[in-house]
Structure 1
Amino acid sequence: MSAYDELMAFSRETQALGQILGRLGWDQETVMPSGAAPQRGEEMAALESVLHARRSDPRVGDWLEAVDTAALDAVGKAQIREIRRAFERANKVPGALAARIARVTSEAQGKWAASRADEDVAAFLPVLEEVVMLKRDEGAALASDGDIYDAMLDDYEPGMTGARLDEIFGDMRPALVELRAAVLERPAPTGLSGSFDESAQMRLTREVAKVFGYDMKHGRVDKAVHPFSSGSGLDVRITTRTSATDPFNCLYSTIHEVGHASYEQGIDPAYLLTPLGRGVSMGVHESQSRIYENQLGRSKAFCGWLFGRMSESFGDLGVADAKGFYAAVNKVDRGFIRTEADEVQYNLHIMLRLDLERQLMRGEIGVVDLEEAWNTRFAADFGYAVDRPSNGVLQDVHWSVGLFGYFPTYALGNVYAGCLHEALRMAVPELDGQLAAGDLGPATTWLRENLQQHGGLYAPAEVIERASGQAPSVAPLLSYLQTKFGGLYDL
């Protein structure tokens, strides 16, 4: 075997073990007995130790040195790029620290869920304090003498920096605030009313998942406190949640997670269990979940189809017709929850989280001050007070599991989705007619062929530019939002 062949064989085993670790996380959030949490923490720490040892194995460095990259094709060079990046990162983070982070975040996740259910911030703060300290240590190790938050961000969006995020968000924020103010001056549309059987929601949500192209032979839909997608290749699972009074929570959480899952299912099978066999970044990942959920799932055309299916499933929805249903789906209103936020206000939720987690990582605020800082910032940004912790600082799972640097990728995903949607509309001129018939095939096929199949082959900005024909820009997203909500609210 050549050095490249040996390296790829070793990497394949490492990728397989990583999938097992992900499956443990899926099990923990779906069906694991609550009393198993301490043992699961030990299991995940043990497996993380094995993975860290493999990623930092000196043989990887030897193989990387021995490979003649000039003789490789574009795929081979990309594989080496990703392996080298993981190797260099792993060698900066001590193995004991990596294992401890895995153990503590596994335990913290369960404590977060319990604290959220009990509306008890104080019960969660001690373990969150430990998570924050561990992640600061990890960030310092990764950053060397650079910015800790930039090092964390690079884990989820390679090449992105806090300074560049400030530029992007600075370009978006004034337009979003202005649009929100104009919309909220107009009368709010009627929302859905009634009670919606939760088992019927799950039946319909599985149907909708398949309509959006989710391959149930290689996936499944379960319930969790916080919806998520897990896995890649031949085993990609999603979760959703239900509310008897809000079926949109279930349906649009599902469509969002199907976007993630479809990206993973759509990657070239030749990349299975290699570094290229997963999404290239979380921003690009979010571009898929957001375009599935919003530009496609909340479009006027698709809402007409969904109104028919929901009426068949639940009877009277409390709205008179498809036009009223479309308005209800896209209602802009006061709210607290990021995952339920309308398209106009969603990115404002992300900006709040970005600023708070940067302050946490830099030591500018302490964990003990986090709830007050959240509530103060929320009131300033949204104009009303947080009513309870589950609607505030306890609403998201991300900090409990150490995902600092992750939140900005949601907003980046919206920016990328705006670029992709503009290109999709040009490439598929009959899109609205297809969506109105519940036919997502042409849209999802275009996304698979132009973006999803590439997996990690191209850098994030490059894959967006290749698919959309333009460098990432906030302009298409802002134009889409102004046109859509200007029409909805007669601005």
Structure 2
Amino acid sequence: MSFDDLMAYERQTQALSQVAGRLGWDQETVMPRGAGDQRAEEMGAVAAILHERRTSGRVGDWLAAIDDSTLDAVGQAQMRHIRRDYARATRLPGDLAAEIARTRSLAHQRWAEARAREDVAHFLPMLARMVDLKRAEGAALAENGDAYDALLQDYEPGATAAGLEAMFGALRPRLVALRAACLERPAPKGLSGTFDEAAQMRLSRMLAKTFGYDMARGRVDKAVHPFSSGSGDDVRITTRTAADDPFNCLYSTIHEVGHASYEQGIDAAYRLTPLGQGVSMGVHESQSRIYENQIGRSRAFTGWLHERMREAFGDLGVADADGFYAAVNTLKPGYIRTEADEVQYNLHVLLRFDLERDLIAGRLEVDDLEEAWNARFLADFGYAVDKPSNGCLQDVHWSEGLFGYFPTYTLGNVYAGCLMQALARDLPDWEAHLAKGDLTAVTGWLRARVQQHGGLFEPRAVIAQACGGTEPDEGPLLDYLEAKFGAIYGL
């Protein structure tokens, strides 16, 4: 009886959490500009209620009364999540949780203003407040352990900064060498012309459906920074448009559809329970990145997309489908993580991982962030940051207190490399399906192997099981990148 009571209570908590997420979606898409201060109070109030529910003595009593060994595998997985979340929530003071939520809303607004004005100083006081709060949260959760590792558990349970650093250290040399070799060769010809932004949105919605996104349970809107929000029967995505760069819109959409398809694909029996959402951001990113890159930027799929682009926009300025494929996968200098090619993307992530670890540890102060970012970028990429919106103001994450999130992007790429290797082995004719614009086989494989499980298994276990028991490592990703870009650039 205690388990049933706990799960009924948890269902209400999960529902309230979805409401909080909807407030965030609204703020990013359609909220009136003048509503910011009130929205901050609203989000703080909901966060306070959620924290009170998550730390309630009733939850502690139920947890003490339940013998997990009497439950089936699903029940035990539910308890694993609830016990872990309760332990974390009870370490975090309620007033700190509410203040983080309130500051997150205000800091997001300040970041957007500073980014539009190219004014780092306008954002720094609010960022400093957020960093102080997250240091306090990390210290409370770590209980004398590493504060950054404690924050990381919100995004990738079981991961440690040391483990990620070792993986990233193995990635860096081969990525740097591949990047240098490609950039020494002539760049493929890019698209030319301007591309109607309304037509981009129409095509992006068509692509969302092609990749299996259920529009009856979702919607596509525009935002400054593309994102996915929600789970179950209400999973929304956003994208953005630029008249001179349709790939920004289309591949942002495909990326977010990967996230959304994961949430929509979870077993409906888990809805509004701890298992009813993606198990970690690394696994989440594996879905968005494999949709966007290994599938969406493959030669087979871009051949089909080339025809759809010509139908929508006419002449694209490239000779044929092979030229279009090369244009989709061109390496070129750039500042923006979300616009980076597959080879350089992870170098952008590693920069952020190192800087945010230093911020939380106190080795780097907020007032020195811009200088540290610019120096690291120059060292890694060989050219200087030209303006703040291309530097430390480009990402929304730190304004929202998402310290520990960035490394999951590269971890997701590593997972995606492993999954693609297994998918190609299990579906040897996958490219023939993609060439016809039929993605049901590849997305069905991912739904069956990864998405339907939600939080049933631990993150690395999900990937290992999908790959036939092989533990994930960086090798398949690096092999894939070297083979693909070696062929494109004639290395």
The residue aligned with 1:64 is: 63
The residue aligned with 2:341 is: 342
SS at match of 2:168: helix
SS at match of 2:289: helix
- What letter is aligned with 1:365? L
The residue aligned with 1:43 is: 42
- What letter is aligned with 2:131? V
Aligned mates of 2:439, 2:394 — CA distance in 1: 32
The residue aligned with 2:256 is: 257
Deviations 1:325-374 (A, max 9, x none): 10010000100000000000111000000000011001111101100100
The residue aligned with 1:88 is: 87
The residue aligned with 1:361 is: 360
- What letter is aligned with 1:430? D
Could you state the TM-score of these two structures normalised by the residue count of structure 1?
0.99
SS at match of 2:229: strand
SS at match of 1:222: strand
The residue aligned with 1:487 is: 487
The residue aligned with 1:242 is: 241
Matched ranges for 1:385-396 at <5 A: 385-396=384-395
Shift in Å, 1:166 = 1.0
> Is the counterpart of residue 411 in structure 1 residue 410 in structure 2?
yes
Q: Which runs of 5+ in 1 are unaligned?
A: none
Shift in Å, 1:256 = 0.3
Shift in Å, 1:172 = 0.5
The residue aligned with 2:124 is: 125
Aligned mates of 2:445, 2:431 — CA distance in 1: 15
Aligned mates of 1:316, 1:389 — CA distance in 2: 35
Shift in Å, 1:464 = 0.2
SS at match of 2:398: coil
- What letter is aligned with 1:213? G
Shift in Å, 1:111 = 1.1
Deviations 1:110-130 (A, max 9, x none): 111111111111111110110
Shift in Å, 1:70 = 1.0
Aligned mates of 1:170, 1:126 — CA distance in 2: 33
Could you state the TM-score of these two structures normalised by the residue count of structure 2?
0.99
Deviations 1:79-123 (A, max 9, x none): 001011111111000000000000011011111111111111111
Q: Which runs of 5+ in 2 are unaligned?
A: none
- What letter is aligned with 1:489? Y
The residue aligned with 1:283 is: 282
Deviations 1:131-158 (A, max 9, x none): 0000100000001110111001111000
The residue aligned with 1:173 is: 172
Aligned mates of 1:112, 1:212 — CA distance in 2: 33
SS at match of 1:400: helix
Aligned mates of 1:449, 1:359 — CA distance in 2: 39
Deviations 1:18-53 (A, max 9, x none): 000000000000000011000000000000000000
The residue aligned with 1:463 is: 462
The residue aligned with 1:29 is: 28
> Is the counterpart of residue 430 in structure 1 residue 429 in structure 2?
yes
Deviations 1:389-434 (A, max 9, x none): 1111000000000000000000000000000000000111111111
Aligned mates of 2:357, 2:421 — CA distance in 1: 32
The residue aligned with 1:441 is: 440
Shift in Å, 1:285 = 0.2
Shift in Å, 1:68 = 1.9
Deviations 1:446-487 (A, max 9, x none): 000011000000000000000012101101001100100000
Shift in Å, 1:316 = 1.0
Matched ranges for 1:289-328 at <5 A: 289-328=288-327
The residue aligned with 2:269 is: 270
Shift in Å, 1:318 = 1.2
Shift in Å, 1:255 = 0.3
CA RMSD of aligned residues (A): 0.5
Aligned mates of 1:335, 1:216 — CA distance in 2: 33
Matched ranges for 1:95-110 at <5 A: 95-110=94-109
Aligned mates of 1:301, 1:143 — CA distance in 2: 47
Aligned mates of 2:403, 2:317 — CA distance in 1: 40
> Is the counterpart of residue 352 in structure 1 residue 346 in structure 2?
no
SS at match of 1:394: coil
Aligned mates of 1:79, 1:302 — CA distance in 2: 38
Aligned mates of 1:352, 1:314 — CA distance in 2: 37
What is the identity percentage for the equivalent residue pairs of Structure 1 and Structure 2? Answer: 69
Aligned mates of 1:168, 1:100 — CA distance in 2: 35
Aligned mates of 2:433, 2:391 — CA distance in 1: 39
Aligned mates of 1:127, 1:462 — CA distance in 2: 38
- What letter is aligned with 1:461? R
- What letter is aligned with 2:32? P
SS at match of 1:217: helix
- What letter is aligned with 1:327? A
Shift in Å, 1:59 = 0.7
Aligned mates of 1:65, 1:144 — CA distance in 2: 22
Aligned mates of 2:226, 2:286 — CA distance in 1: 17
The residue aligned with 1:163 is: 162
The residue aligned with 1:420 is: 419
The residue aligned with 1:212 is: 211
- What letter is aligned with 1:178? A
* Range moving further from structure 2, 312-321 or 395-404: 312-321
Aligned length: 490
Aligned mates of 1:78, 1:386 — CA distance in 2: 46
Shift in Å, 1:69 = 1.0
Shift in Å, 1:71 = 1.0
Aligned mates of 2:335, 2:319 — CA distance in 1: 27
SS at match of 1:399: helix
- What letter is aligned with 2:79? I
Shift in Å, 1:244 = 0.4
